[in-house]
Structures are given as structure tokens and as C-alpha cells.
């Protein structure tokens, strides 16, 4: 019976210890490092796609569908009905940079550290101050600075109707060099204030275009650590980021230590209770009746009383004689042992 109880307690203890590990894990890690913006054309969860056209850099893990990727680069696109050539036809070299930017915004699942709420009709979240590599911004600016526009902020500056975006009244088309002060001003303003923050390349920064493994995974991991959104250790620049273990086996050192202490304490208590019960039944297993145990206890107490009251010795002897008369089977050797 005791063995069954011990086994049940051990199973329950293992279950509680597992709960401690799961509860001690950082549940935000998966969300922060692999999430999609809450927006009109974003998927609810990132995942692979079979064909992302010009957004193929995100093919293995993407927040955009094939349909979204198909229309990120054309004028009058059905996504937002935006006309890039609102002043004059845009060159292909400049359009490629805007396409890369659109792919980054629509498809990247690594914007978690920079997502902030924004209540608009077409999105509930936005990216805020994403560190953009200076080399990427400079290349974008160099290929687009001779283009023309009539507004500084393309998200809020245009006049919109069913046919798309138009230059507001009393505005004129000007070269980018007249609208924006420099490359940083252009990259940080064209899609709205604080979407990007131009950052030197020797720091951790995001890339709109790349070949090979996605370097933005590591950058997102670095900033998630820096903002205390996850727990872990820093990684060296452009190395493979450490894989995040599944939620079921995650656990902090603190939770492991606490769980181990709980196991040791409970096992010690179970052993103590078991030994106490075993000693309590020892006389029974040796064939000694319970009443003789009581007699032994009474004799010890009477001996203590006799030392202080000599008259009490007679009453104890009378008690022994009465016990002999009631129990003729009790032999002398047992009485001597008592």
C-alpha cells in the first residue's frame, strides 16, 4: 500500500515539475522572432510559399501569399492601388528598390521587435524605427534621387479616390533631391515618419535585399535580446542564430533549481513518513500483542512515579497481579523482558 502511494506521489511530482518548466519558459520568443503584422494583406502566421515572384528571398518562411507577392511591384496594383509613376514614369532601377521594400514589409516574419499598434482601416499594427542598413538606403537613394514626386510622405500625403493616389491641389512635382535632404531623410520619410532608422552597416541592421540565408533573422534576435523581449545570450555578427527550443522543453535555470529542490524535499518527507509507519507496526510484525506494548509504556511511567512517591509501587504491583490473572498465558520470560 505504501509503495502504491509513493508511486502515485512521484508521478504527481513529475507532472508538477514539468509545469514549472513550461511556466518558466519565455513564451514570447516564438511570437517575437516569427510573427506577422496585423494588416490587410499579411498572413496570420508565417510559413513557406511555393512561388513569391520577386519576393522569393522569403520563400521558405513568409508573411505574404503568392497573390500578394505578385502585385507588390506594379502601378495600380490591387493591393493598395498605388501609382508609383504619379508624376512621371519611374525607372526600373528605382522601382526595384521600392519592390524590395514592399517585399520586406509584406513578407518578412522578423519584424517582431519593432511592431507597434496602429489603428487604421487597413492595418492594426505597423513597424516602428526598424534599423535599415545605411548601404541599402544609399543604394536606394542613388537609384531614385532623379525621380519626381509631389509629396514627401507617400502614406499620408496623397489625395486618394477609387482610381488611386493623386497629387493634392497646390502641389507640384519635384525631383527627389528637392523633396528630401539626403538619403537618410528619404528612407526614413517616404513611407511615413519612423518606419526606418538608417543605421551604419557595422551595427546590427536589416536588409531589404540579400542573397543566401536571411541575415535579418540574426538582427531580429539581437534586438529582441536588447529590448528584453526574450532571454538568451548575444550572438556574433552574421553567424547562424541559436535555435529556440520548443516551448515544452524550455525552462530557466531558476525553475530547474526550484523543481529539483521540490523533488528532494518531497522524497525526504515520503521516506520519513514511511519509516515512521514501519516503526509503528514493528511490534505487530514480531507477534507481540498491542496490550503488552501499552503495559511496557505504563511500567516506564510508573517507575518514574515511584522515584518521587514510594507508595505508588504497591499500586503498580497490584496492577501486574491483575494482569497475570487476566492473562494466564503470559510467561515469566516475557514479564522479565518487560
Cβ neighbours of 193 (radius 10 Å): 13
Q: Tell which wins on pLDDT, 304 or 258.
A: 258
Look at the alpha carbons of 289, 290, 293, 294 in this order and tell me if their dihedral is positive or negative: negative
List Cβ neighbours of 283 (8 Å cut-off, separation of 6 or more).
Answer: 290, 293
Look at the alpha carbons of 239, 240, 241, 242 in this order and tell me if their dihedral is positive or negative: negative
Q: Is residue 232 over pLDDT 80?
A: no
Using 50, 70 and 90 to split pLDDT, how confident is the model at 253?
low
Using 50, 70 and 90 to split pLDDT, how confident is the model at 86?
very high
Distance CA 273, CA 3 (A): 12
Using 50, 70 and 90 to split pLDDT, how confident is the model at 180?
very high
131 vs 100, 137, 253, CA distance in Å?
Answer: 16, 11, 32
Q: Is residue 238 over pLDDT 80?
A: no
Amino acid at each position: 500500500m505504501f509503495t502504491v502511494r509513493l508511486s502515485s506521489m512521484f508521478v504527481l511530482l513529475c507532472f508538477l515539475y514539468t509545469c514549472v518548466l513550461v511556466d518558466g519558459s519565455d513564451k514570447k520568443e516564438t511570437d517575437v522572432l516569427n510573427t506577422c503584422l496585423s494588416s490587410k494583406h499579411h498572413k496570420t502566421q508565417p510559413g513557406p510559399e511555393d512561388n513569391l515572384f520577386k519576393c522569393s528571398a522569403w520563400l521558405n518562411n513568409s508573411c505574404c501569399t503568392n497573390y500578394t507577392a505578385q502585385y507588390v511591384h506594379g502601378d495600380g496594383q490591387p493591393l493598395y492601388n498605388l501609382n508609383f509613376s504619379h508624376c512621371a514614369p519611374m525607372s526600373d532601377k528605382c522601382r526595384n528598390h521600392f519592390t524590395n521594400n514592399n517585399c520586406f514589409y509584406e513578407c518578412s516574419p522578423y519584424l517582431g521587435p519593432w511592431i507597434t499598434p496602429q489603428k487604421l482601416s487597413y492595418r492594426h499594427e505597423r513597424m516602428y524605427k526598424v534599423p535599415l542598413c545605411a548601404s541599402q538606403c544609399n543604394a536606394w537613394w542613388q537609384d531614385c534621387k532623379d525621380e519626381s514626386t509631389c509629396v514627401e510622405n507617400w502614406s499620408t500625403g496623397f489625395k486618394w479616390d477609387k482610381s488611386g493616389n493623386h497629387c493634392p491641389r497646390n502641389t507640384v512635382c519635384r525631383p527627389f533631391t528637392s523633396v528630401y535632404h539626403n538619403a537618410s531623410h528619404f528612407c526614413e520619410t517616404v513611407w511615413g515618419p519612423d518606419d526606418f532608422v538608417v543605421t551604419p552597416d557595422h551595427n546590427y541592421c536589416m536588409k531589404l535585399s540579400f542573397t543566401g540565408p536571411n541575415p535579418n533573422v540574426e538582427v531580429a534576435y539581437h534586438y529582441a535580446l536588447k529590448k528584453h523581449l526574450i532571454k538568451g545570450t548575444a550572438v556574433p555578427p552574421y553567424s547562424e542564430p541559436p535555435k529556440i527550443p520548443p516551448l515544452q522543453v524550455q525552462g530557466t535555470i531558476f525553475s530547474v533549481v526550484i523543481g529539483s529542490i521540490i523533488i528532494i524535499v518531497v522524497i525526504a518527507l515520503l521516506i520519513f513518513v514511511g519509516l515512521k509507519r514501519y516503526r509503528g507496526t514493528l511490534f505487530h510484525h514480531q507477534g507481540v500483542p498491542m496490550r503488552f506494548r501499552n503495559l511496557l509504556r505504563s511500567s516506564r511511567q510508573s517507575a518514574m512515579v515511584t522515584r518521587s512517591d514510594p507508595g505508588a509501587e504497591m499500586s503498580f504491583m497490584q496492577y501486574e497481579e491483575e494482569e497475570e490473572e487476566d492473562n494466564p498465558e503470559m510467561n515469566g520470560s516475557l514479564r522479565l523482558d518487560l
